[in-house]
């Protein structure tokens, strides 16, 4: 199941755009409810690549901020723990 990254509306399976706000579902690649690996893109312009659960970095990954800062290591519930 996928949810819109902007407004949180549940996306219809296979939908290319959020029915509510029109955000392309392709902004989130490989999203699943179960632990997975892939890329997440955040509203603040940062993005994350690695292990995640339910839109939040969970596990080993790398987050790159819009200003170029990088956090690389372990994340729990979206927070960098090192
Ligand atoms: Zn939306």
Would you list the domain boundaries of the chain? 1-28, 32-82
- 82 Cα–ligand 1 center, Å: 32
For residue 15, report the distance from its CA to the centre of ligand 1, in Å: 12
pLDDT class for 1, splitting at 50, 70, 90?
A: low
User: How many Å apart are CA 6 and CA 25, to the nearest integer?
Assistant: 10
pLDDT band at 32 (very low <50, low <70, confident <90, very high): very low
Mean confidence (pLDDT) of the chain: 82
From ligand 1's centre to the CA of 72, what distance in Å? Answer: 29
Q: Record the tokens describing residue 57, joined without a space.
A: 């970095």
Does residue 13 have a pLDDT over 90? no
Q: Ligand 1 centroid to 59 CA: how many Å?
A: 26
Give the per-residue pLDDT at 29: 46
Question: What distance in angstroms lies between residue 27's CA and the mean position of ligand 1's atoms?
Answer: 11
For tokens 């603040």, name the residue: 44
């Amino acid at each position: 199941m996928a949810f819109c990254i902007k407004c949180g509306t549940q996306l219809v399976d296979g939908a290319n755009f959020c029915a509510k706000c029109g955000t392309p579902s392709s902004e989130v690649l490989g999203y699943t409810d179960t632990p997975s690996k892939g890329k997440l893109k955040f509203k603040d312009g940062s993005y994350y690549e690695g292990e995640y659960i339910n839109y939040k970095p969970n596990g080993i990954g790398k987050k790159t901020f819009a200003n170029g800062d990088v956090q690389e290591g372990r994340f729990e519930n979206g927070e960098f723990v090192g």
